[in-house]
Amino acid sequence: MASVLKPMEWALGRFSTDMGIDLGTANTLVSVRGQGIILNEPSVVAVKRGTNEVLLDGMAVGNTAKAMLGKTPGSIEAIRPLRHGVIADFDVTEKMLRYFISKVHDGRHWVKPQVVIAVPVGITTVERRAVIHSAERAGARRVYLIDEPMAAGIGCELPVTEARGSLVVDIGGGTTEVAVLSLAGAVVATSVRTAGDEMDEAIVGHLRRHHNLLIGEQSAERIKLTIGSAWPMDQELSMEVKGRDSITGLPRRATVTSIEIRESLEHPVRIICDAIRAILEEAPPEISADLVDTGVTLVGGGSLLHGLDEAIADALGIPARVADDPLTAVARGTGIFLEKLDVFAKVLASDEED
C-alpha cells in the first residue's frame, strides 16, 4: 500500500503550496514561500453548540468566527481551540487547520503541502504529536515543528546560527516564550502562561472591581491597545468604555484612564520580567557577555503594549527593543525555514521523529 500511496502523495504535492504556520492561541498566521504572509486571522471557530460541526459549511473560522465571540445565541458557540499555545480541542483544531490550508489553495481540498508549524517551547511530546496529527489529518503531506523563539529569531534576522547569544521574548496570546539562542539552538528557554490573554483578564477584573462594570474580552483588548501601557506615557490618556453594570445589570458607560490600566497590568508585566530574569540567570557567562550589548528582542502581539520595552530594560538593566513588525516575526521565520529546510533540519522536529 505504501508504495502505491507515495507516488500519489508526490503528485498531489507538486500541485500544493508549502506553508509555514504560526499557530497561536489568539491568531494564526500563514507564510508561503516566495509570497510572505498571506493570511492572518483569529484562532476562533464557530460551531453548533454541543457538537464540533463548524458553521457555514466549515467556513465559520477566523475573522467570521471572532465577530461572534460573546454575541452568539444559545445554539451557536464561538470557541478558541487552543489554550496557552497548545491544543485544547483536537477535532476543532483539525478543522481550523483544514480551513486555512484550503484557503491558501483557493478551496482545493485534495492538496498535500509540506507544513512548518511554530509551537511553544514548553509543550510536551504528547502535545507536539497532537499538533502533527492535527495537521496531517487536515491534509498536510509532511509536518515539521519549530520552537516559536527560534522561528522569531530567524524571522527577525538575528544571528541565531552563529556562536553569539540572542535573547528572544515572544509574547503571544496564551504564552510568553523566552529563549537564549546560539548556534541554531536554544541554550536555555522557558514558557510561562502569562501573556496577552492574562493582560486582558487583568483589565476585565479592574473594571469589575473599581467601576462595577462588566466587559468582554474584545472590549478589554481594545482598551489594552488604545490606552494600555507598562511605562508612564508622555501624555496620559482616557477612554470611554461600555458594558453592563454589575449591580443593576443595565448597560452603561464609564471613563477609564491609562494610569489605572497600567496599574492593572503591573502583575502580568512583572511575571514576564521575572521569566526573562530567570533565563538570564541560567545563561552561561559567555552568553551573558553577548547580551549586555544585544539585550532583549521582543516579538508577538503582547510586545506592542506601550512602554513594555522600557519597563523590561529598567527591570533587567540590559537593552530591550521591539522587533520590526513583531506580529509576523514567527510566521516570517517559518517561511524562511521552508526555503532552507536542509540548513535548519537539526532544529526541526518532523513527524518521523515522533
Q: Which CATH class is domain 163-194+266-324?
A: alpha beta
What is the per-residue pLDDT for 11? 47
Could you give phi then psi for residue 329, rounded to 5 degrees? -60, -45
Print burial letters for 260-289: b (CB count within 10 Å at least 16), e (below 16): bbbebbeebbeebbebbeebbeebeeebbe
> Is the model more confident about 242 or about 137?
242
> Is the model more confident about 134 or about 50?
134
Alpha carbons 210 and 202: distance in angstroms, whole number: 12
pLDDT digits (tens, 9 = 90+) for 167-176: 999 999 999 9
Q: How confident is the model at residue 72 (pLDDT cuts 50, 70, 90)?
A: low
Where are the domains positioned within the chain? Answer: 2-150+330-353, 163-194+266-324, 196-264
Instruction: Work out the average pLDDT over 162-182.
Output: 95
Which pairs from 244-253 meet CB under 8 Å and 24+ separation?
244/213, 244/214, 245/212, 245/213, 245/214, 246/208, 246/212, 246/213, 246/214, 247/212, 252/213
What is the per-residue pLDDT for 351? 45
What is the per-residue pLDDT for 108? 63
pLDDT digits (tens, 9 = 90+) for 18-35: 999 999 888 999 999 878
Average pLDDT, whole number, for the chain?
89
pLDDT digits (tens, 9 = 90+) for 212-221: 999 998 899 9
Query: pTM of the predicted model, to two decimals?
Result: 0.87
Alpha carbons 165 and 292: distance in angstroms, whole number: 10
Least confidently predicted of 50-59, 100-109, 152-161, 273-282: 100-109
What is the per-residue pLDDT for 352? 43
Please say if the pLDDT value at position 343 is more than 80: no
Q: How confident is the model at residue 1 (pLDDT cuts 50, 70, 90)?
A: very low
Instruction: Work out the average pLDDT over 131-140.
Output: 90
Q: Could you tell me the CATH superfamily of domain 2-150+330-353?
A: ATPase, nucleotide binding domain (3.30.420.40)
Q: Is 9 exposed, middle or buried (0-12, 13-18, 19+ CB in 10 A)?
A: middle
Same CATH topology for 2-150+330-353 and 196-264? Answer: no
Proportion of the chain above pLDDT 90, given as a percent: 64
Q: How confident is the model at residue 76 (pLDDT cuts 50, 70, 90)?
A: confident
- For 196-264, the fitting CATH number among 3.40.50.720, 3.30.930.10, 3.90.640.10, 3.90.1150.200 is 3.90.640.10
